[in-house]
Structure 1
């Protein structure tokens, strides 16, 4: 420890709400690679001193600005707090994993698919979309439609409003706003969206089934586990390749997960 506090049993070293102002002063010395060390001693949380980051084991709280902090353990983010909201996932890490997963598929239309996902995430509510390629799309639309497990629609691009010949400029703006509201509406419908690799939606409100083929992750919700099982079912029983079918699950707090499945 670079700096140890003397007479640490004194009230001034207690890490509690009653000591808020003093704690803030002490934290001014804990910048960059230096951290304030707090440990439990006889039922109380006491400030022990200042140490270099990585030299001390245990949980770490990092303040990233006003009303922003993260709780980490061993470099892994356990909890984030931002503007009154708590988040259990690490957005930056999820973002990196998501981009890596999409790029790893080596898709011809990878750029368009990223744009589609970006557009859906901008709606700021949880949604999910399954991307199916060619024969997979045709077969699944037929199967799901015949069993009333998806509402098929005339293919519509998420990225661009329908082309209309406008005489007045304000009519174009009105159409763009209407289209935006339409996208918010269909992405909010319970169930998944089904899209092709060009970013066109072919079905909404899809209830995706399939025999249980993978172990569920109980730390995640039903939507994620359902799509994870569905994609792996397509690969295991339908013998499709991972680059022919994958799902993207987006949560309300901005989190994102790509489910590719494995042969």
Structure 2
């Protein structure tokens, strides 16, 4: 298609990994390019180009996309043909854009069919085609379907301008950035598309898209207004409170106190002061442009009930966007993230039995209770379950606090994890050391993008002579189950999907 297509595809792949790994590493993004020759018949072997050529999909599988798009156009009953455009260039531009949208729809349908036929655990997204050197170039992004679908989505059919979740908003922002880079390459002299946007900035753009979706009115400044309010203190206290997003006099909102003059949402200091009035289910009522007063939702069994989006200010620089009791997005220091992960019972049960085959149901339930307590630590911690807890506590005596052996309980674990280092217990639950600084040989399974806690756990479990499982809770909300590979059937780190 063009000289630097391989370079762009690799850049887009790295760009996708950098962006989506900040949300959930289990999304496993994969990017490839699809080129449809504009001047060739579909039976021509060169009519479809796939980059990379080593992709598991063959060009022949996409040969019927333009025919399918034409069939969509023939069945299109919209009144768009009745619109008269004064300037012929406007008419051509609109017709071309409509055709590109049909090609995008056809490409998506073909991809879904291929994935379903092969039984792949992939969710496909594709960009609107861009004309480049005689080809319609489509950027295709695939994510792990089970992980993507595990997050709560807003009701209604998603679309290019109608996001349903933070991962979906990030997909739209990513594809938009790829299309921008391709468009600039088409006009640049060197023809080398540049994808150099900061990953966190991509997620901020996704957060703004999501706020637009849940807003009842003009919400172009809603995301930044929430940032401004969360950054302020009132008489030294952090901002805590709730804001309901609904149109004025919404039937599902019971007014408690109505302001005579609505306060603009851009007046951050006034909004921060009014936030002190909120308590429990009663919050500020806003249409994303102004705050009208205080109110609360009617009960769920009321006929006029409707789930509304709410913004919960949790701490200094921190707030959350929720809908119908589900957290859509957490924002910390202007950085959108998905809700904190929780260890899933079935996943934990599977992994713990692989590492310790002799453990019984009561033992699994006991360790599960401890794992839940560890996952609730917001500052990050680590629980190391190893068959060699006693000799390892002796070996690491200079880099831990050895304790008189005792069965660990959730309340004691909560206290023991308040200091740095791991809590080391046997599969029976007996604790031998706290504040353990784990060691181990360097391994290729390390991840430079993760912190010291995660990488030390990887090194320890990879080189431990005893069966062991490390539960790593990071400060950013990630929770990893790291089994010792030589004692488990699954050697890869197991990252739990976010709970809701």
Compute the TM-score of the two structures, normalised by the length of structure 1.
Answer: 0.56
SS in 2 for 1:37: coil
Query: Could you list the runs of 5+ residues in structure 1 that have no partner in the other structure?
Result: 10-29, 39-46, 71-79, 161-179
In 1, Cα distance between equivalents of 2:468 and 2:399: 18
Contact 1:158 1:200 in 2 (8 A): yes
Deviation at 1:204, TM superposition (A): 0.9
Rounded to whole Å, the distance in 2 between the matches of 1:125 and 1:83 is 16
Please say if 1:194 is aligned against 2:417. no
In 2, distance between residues paired with 1:4 and 1:211? Answer: 65
Q: Does 1:116 align with 2:370?
A: yes
Judging by fraction of residues, say which structure has more strand.
Answer: 1
CA distance in 2, matches of 1:142, 1:207: 13
Higher relative contact order (CA 8 A, sep 6+): 1
> Who is 2:439 aligned against?
209
Q: In 2 relative to 1, CA 90–33 (structure 1 residues): closer, same or farther, beyond 3 Å?
A: farther
Unpaired runs of 5+ residues, structure 2, are 1-71, 84-89, 91-152, 174-205, 215-307, 312-320, 487-500
How far the C-alpha of 1:149 sits from its partner, in A, is 1.5
Could you say which residue in structure 1 is the equivalent of 2:400?
150
1:169-225 C-alpha deviation (Å, 9 max, x unpaired): xxxxxxxxxxx4x64332021111111112232101111112213331123211011
Other-structure match for 2:390: 138
Once superposed, which parts of structure 1, at least 4 consecutive aligned residues long, lie more than 6 Å away? 1-7
Q: What is the number of equivalent residue pairs in this alignment?
A: 187
User: How far did 1:36 drift?
Assistant: 3.8
Partner of 2:330: 82
Q: 1:259 aligns with which of 472, 478, 482?
A: 482
Residue pairs, 1:228-239, within 5 angstroms: 228-234=458-464, 238=465
Aligned to 1:34: 157
Mapped contact 2:454–2:474 kept (Cα < 8 A): no
Q: Which has the larger radius of gyration?
A: 2
1:127 and 2:381 equivalent?
yes
What secondary structure does 1:35 align onto?
coil
Question: Which of the numbers 221, 237, 250 marks the counterpart of 2:473?
Answer: 250
Q: Distance in 1 between matches of 2:78 and 2:370?
A: 53
Q: TM-score, normalised by structure 2?
A: 0.32
Tell me, what secondary structure is at the counterpart of 1:193?
strand
The aligned counterpart of 1:19 is none
**1:137/1:89 CA distance change after superposition, 3 Å:** same
Counterpart in the other structure of 1:175: none
3-state SS of paired residue (1:115): helix
Per the TM alignment, residue 91 of structure 1 is displaced from its structure 2 partner at its CA by 2.3
Give the match for residue 101 of structure 1: 351
Shift of 1:99: 4.9
